[in-house]
Amino acid sequence: GIQVEQSPPDLILQEGANSTLRCNFSDSVNNLQWFHQNPWGQLINLFYIPSGTKQNGRLSATTVATERYSLLYISSSQTTDSGVYFCAVGPTGNQFYFGTGTSLTVIP
Amino acid sequence: DGGITQSPKYLFRKEGQNVTLSCEQNLNHDAMYWYRQDPGQGLRLIYYSQIVNDFQKGDIAEGYSVSREKKESFPLTVTSAQKNPTAFYLCASSIPRDGQPQHFGDGTRLSIL
């Protein structure tokens, strides 16, 4: 299957700081999603972004499919942004491979 | 509201016992998935189904079984053959073609007594 590497594995930020999370993948993909897993385990869909750039409030994402990476930007971080951020990729629409995540802690 | 319902939220299993985790969706999605998550790890695919009465093994299918008798339902049975079943189990669904995201339920935490 496709290998997915996320970096950094852990990140601690002061409230209000900005951050960039990276997802590298080993093969061409037609599907890519970013998720936020909250402390209760719920997976929240942030972006579906196999290519291009999208923005939603303080969050934005960019995927450069030809170079096999995606970036998630968090601006003006808040304590509620804490949790684990996962990247999931798939060659087709029926199977996704997950990275091991970036654990984000935002301190007040 | 449309969504995915997993039950129960917490489940305890005795040694040698089979248990079944429920997953129901009302999103009218053809594809459904089961993932396993261990502490500090990403999700790994157990089984997936793209259509009723058909399913395929994922990367870690040993010790698990599924059925897909209805479009809305995709139950997962953790059998006694699964020697390390303690984990967080997540069910997802999607329209099975490019351009369609996966949607997840809230998960079931399974522990061994």
Instruction: Tell me, letter by letter, the H, E, C secondary structure of B6-71.
Output: EECCEEEECCCCCEEEEEEECCCCCEEEEEEECCCCCEEEEEEEEECCEEEECCCCCCEEECCCEC
- Confidence band (pLDDT; 50, 70, 90) for B1? low
Note if the bond before B8 is cis, omega within 30 degrees: yes
- What pLDDT does A93 receive? 60
Per-residue pLDDT tens for A8-43?
Answer: 999 999 999 999 999 999 999 989 999 999 988 999
Mean pLDDT for the stretch of residues B32-36 = 96
Distances (CA, A) of B47 to A20, B23, B67: 32, 13, 10
Contacts of A43 in chain B (CB under 8 A): 90, 104
* Nearest by CB: B43 against A1, A45, A98: A98
* Nearest by CB: A95 against B48, B104, B106: B48
Between A58 and A30, whose confidence is greater? A58
Contacts of B37 in chain A (CB under 8 A): 41
Specify the range with the lowest mean pLDDT, choosing from A37-46, A92-101, B8-17.
A92-101
